Amino acid sequence: MRIISGKYKSRRFQLPKKFRARPTTDMARENLFNILNNKFDWESTHALDLFSGTGSVAIELVSRGCPRVVCVESNTKNYAFIQHVKEQLDATELLTIKADVFSYIKTCNQTFDLIFADPPYDLKELDTIPSKIFELELLNENGIFILEHSKEDSFIEHPLFKEERKYGSVHFSFFAKDSVI
């Protein structure tokens, strides 16, 4: 796993053997952050990374200057890897939570400027995630929710869908309450 930009730029972390996650590719992550750089002042952005996997998105957010990033991962080995990276970087801005994402969001008592979710592509509740994020009012005003998914899924009919970006096999759907993304 490579950190693309910011204070930890070019740092690399070797994933353990038999790691059970599908990390967002470097190319897709780099393109995603190129879009987001024009939309966020990182130093004032509070973010939530759901289904964190390797933690690559959460660590990238911290590296770019986010003062608080919460990442939620239920898999014990994945969570341990994220904790290891956090400790190696002394990334005190990162709060790692070992929990089921759906349980966590139901009890979450804070809001975020940016929420990113990279669930398993075959997750049966995948299509419910955007609605749950908005029903639970987890986004701040002008906040953006991004869902990573496969080409087999489409969210264009969701009332808060704004756009989809494709980078190889990785698709990002953007959602927001306001009309500007």
At residue 42, the 3 state secondary structure works out as helix
CATH number at residue 161: 3.40.50.150
At residue 68, the 3 state secondary structure works out as strand
Q: Is residue 162 part of a domain?
A: yes
Q: Is residue 16 part of a domain?
A: no
Identify which of 147, 100, 112 has the alpha carbon closest to the alpha carbon of residue 127: 147
Q: Is residue 28 part of a domain?
A: no
Q: Is residue 20 part of a domain?
A: no
Do residues 173 and 147 touch, judged by C-beta distance below 8 A? yes
Residue 59 above 80 pLDDT?
yes
Q: Is residue 1 part of a domain?
A: no
Rounded mean pLDDT, 72-92: 96
Q: What is the pLDDT, as a whole number, of residue 179?
A: 61
Domain hosting 105: range is 43-175
CA-CA distances (angstroms) from residue 117 to 60, 87, 105? 14, 23, 12
Quote the number of domains for the chain: 1
Q: Is residue 48 part of a domain?
A: yes
Q: What is the pLDDT, as a whole number, of residue 181?
A: 63
Residue 22 above 80 pLDDT?
no
Q: Is residue 181 part of a domain?
A: no
pTM, two decimals, is 0.95
Q: What is the pLDDT of residues 133-179, one digit of tens each?
A: 999 999 998 999 999 999 999 999 999 999 999 998 899 999 999 76
Q: What is the pLDDT of residues 94-113, one digit of tens each?
A: 999 999 999 999 999 999 99
Residue with the larger pLDDT of the pair 178 and 74: 74
